[in-house]
Amino acid sequence: MRMLSVTALAGRARISTLKGQYGQTMSCWLCRRSISSGLTLNSASSGGSSSRYISRQQRDPYVKLRRQPLAGKQGEDDTRSSVPTIYASRAAYKLIQLDDLHGFLRGGSSSSRLTSPRIIVDLGAAPGGWTQVAVERNHSARSRRAHVFALDILSMNPVEGATVIQGDFLDARVQADLEHAIIGSEGDSTQDFQQPPSTDMDETGELSELLQGGSGLVDVVLSDMMAPTTGNPISDTEASLELCRSALLFAARNLRRPDPHKPAPLKATTFVCKFFGSPAADQFRRTVLERAFERVKVEKGRIGASRKESREAFWVCQGYRGPQSVDVDAMYS
């Protein structure tokens, strides 16, 4: 079932990792599709909008803050890198505040994760603010190194310590290459693998079956994806929810499965997803997310970096119960 109408065009994309102290260089070519939003800009009214935008940016404390280099503290409890950072976007502070509240970026640990790096996936990553924070908070003196994968249909600058992928997340081929890269980061290229589900699938039974595939190696999935807004609240809400469905399907395939014999801390697996508030989103949370995760929190008011006038909010879902807990029928009802 496909609720978001897009136009696909053939294209190319590349996976790249900035070589540095946190990772090795890897590159391969992916197929991707670019999305044509179909939006038309009204040049006659752009002047007033531009003035309001500039005025808002000048008053925004987070816009000013993100441009100031952060001097890293000394000490093993510091969650930031010792290298000064200028964030690529003010959105970085949204993730910082979400993590300060819920502590998922370094998260809990299980016996299976004590000797291997954690894996974090950032969907809708451009221009890279969330990716920078994910890398920062996993490279302090005490935390284990993490593999951070960042994906977006838009290009973004390399982030040291992260694998950056440019491609259309709604393209199953791009997801397949991302999952292969995740498996490769663990050094297991022989793991059984099933093609990710297409967002055009109508058979929920087939989707449920495919949820058993994937890497099952990811600790945190972050989704800051947002479709181009049209000004129509109904269309914008449904487009947002469709991206949430797609992100959850990816998370369901790739988050680490719970081991009934070795209970993991609640924070060991986390899915963070941006959404537009609506009755449909509330139903999705109750009937889908709360069945798939042990704890689901809605964050808006406590996230100071999220503008009050914005309709965006965030689900923080922790304690993944496994693919069998994902109700695909309810997801598309």
Q: What is the pLDDT of residues 292-311, one digit of tens each?
A: 999 999 999 899 888 788 89
Q: What is the pLDDT of residues 201-224, one digit of tens each?
A: 445 556 666 677 788 999 999 999
Q: How much is the mean pLDDT over the chain?
A: 76
Q: What is the pLDDT of residue 20?
A: 38
Q: What is the pLDDT of residues 165-182, one digit of tens each?
A: 999 999 999 999 999 999
Strand partners, 125: none
Q: Alpha-carbon distance 55 to 12, whole Å?
A: 38
Q: Cα dihedral sign for 169, 173, 175, 181?
A: negative
Range of weakest confidence among 12-26, 47-61, 90-104, 122-136? 12-26
Q: What is the pLDDT of residue 139?
A: 77
Question: How large is the C-alpha radius of gyration of the chain?
Answer: 19
Residue 85 has pLDDT above 50, yes or no: yes
Q: Which of 6, 3, 4, 12 is nearest to 173 (CA)?
A: 12
Q: What is the pLDDT of residue 261?
A: 79
The amino acid occupying position 60 is: D
**Between residues 182 and 197, the one the model is more confident about:** 182
**Residue 38 burial (CB count, 10 A):** 10
What average pLDDT does this structure show over 139-151?
A: 76
Q: Alpha-carbon distance 253 to 235, whole Å?
A: 27
The amino acid occupying position 291 is: R
Q: What is the pLDDT of residue 211?
A: 76
The amino acid occupying position 224 is: D
- Domains along the chain? 15-36+88-331 (3.40.50.150)
Q: What is the pTM of this model?
A: 0.74
Q: Cα dihedral sign for 219, 238, 46, 314?
A: negative
Q: What is the pLDDT of residue 95?
A: 97
Range of weakest confidence among 52-66, 90-104, 164-178? 52-66
Q: What is the pLDDT of residue 25?
A: 29
Q: What is the pLDDT of residue 185?
A: 87
Q: What is the pLDDT of residue 153?
A: 96
Residue 21 has pLDDT above 80, yes or no: no
Residue 84 has pLDDT above 80, yes or no: no
The pair of three-digit structure tokens given for residue 152, joined into one six-digit string: 């977006």
Q: What is the pLDDT of residues 252-280, one digit of tens each?
A: 999 999 888 777 777 889 999 999 999 99
Residue 247 has pLDDT above 70, yes or no: yes
- Percent of the chain having pLDDT more than 90? 50
The pair of three-digit structure tokens given for residue 146, joined into one six-digit string: 């993490």
